[in-house]
Amino acid sequence: MNEDRILVDAVLANAPGAFTRLVRTYQGLCWHIVQRMVRHPDDAAELCQEVFLRVHQTLHQFRHESPLRAWIGRVAYHVALRHLERKRIAIVDLGGDEDGMAFLENLGDGADLEERMGQDQVDTLLHAAIDALPPVQRTVLTLYHLDELSIAEIAQVTGMATGTIKSHLFRARLRLRGELEPRMGVTAP
């Protein structure tokens, strides 16, 4: 957090190169969040510029209550979310949880997907299935599993309650399993 404070203070003092350093440090995080939400590279590039414009305009409001990474991630998430809302793109899947317990009980059912298919095929199918998820589920899933952010960190980035994040993770996993199992020849137990 001390490095965050030094960087923020330097940007606010208009120190030469400070904002460029901030952008370089966090552009990967910004791109990953925005791209996972909007899925269009041209839109994502434009939205990332908007994120850093907003960061520059509102950095004086940063209170060091969370890491700068989480604060910038939240700005990126909300810019992407507003973009999807303006485009009237469905943001979440509101499907029911009637199969929830069966899914949790059978999560590790012993099926070896790699044995049934080559790893390249599994990767291709998995990435296609992830891309087909609603934006919020896709983003929460990748932040948790690929970026290895904790539920609490995802809550800081998205502003969602931890229970909501867990619900999105559950639904995303359920949907992935429903999509992948039939394609990989796995039968339900």
**Does this model's pTM top 0.75?**
no
Statement: residue 11 has pLDDT above 90: yes
Q: In this predicted model, what pLDDT tens digit does every residue of 83-141 receive, in sequence order?
A: 988 887 766 654 544 443 333 333 344 444 444 445 566 667 777 888 888 888 988 98
Domains and CATH numbers, the chain: 2-86 (1.10.1740.10), 100-183 (1.10.10.10)
Whole-angstrom distance, CA of residue 180 vs CA of residue 43: 29
Q: In this predicted model, what pLDDT tens digit does every residue of 13-59 receive, in sequence order?
A: 999 999 999 999 999 889 989 988 888 888 999 999 999 999 999 99
Whole-angstrom distance, CA of residue 101 vs CA of residue 123: 27
Least Cα distance to 7 among 53, 62, 57 occurs for 62
Question: How far, rounded to the nearest angstrom, does the alpha carbon of residue 175 sit from its chain's CA centroid?
Answer: 16
Within 13 Å and on the Cβ side, how many CA atoms surround 82?
9
CB-based burial, 87-124: b 16+ in 10 Å, e otherwise? eeeebeeeeeeeeeeeeeeeeeeebebeeebeeeebee
The pLDDT, as a whole number, for residue 142 is 84
- Cα 94 to Cα 97, 133, 164, 168, 175, distances in angstroms: 9, 12, 12, 10, 12
DSSP structure class, residue 65: S
Least Cα distance to 154 among 67, 96, 84 occurs for 67
Q: Which amino acid is at 111?
A: A
Give the residue-averaged pLDDT of 156-177.
91
Question: How many of the other CB atoms lie within 10 Å of CB of 65?
Answer: 9
- Looking at 31-35, 138-142, 152-156, 178-182, which range is the least confident one? 178-182
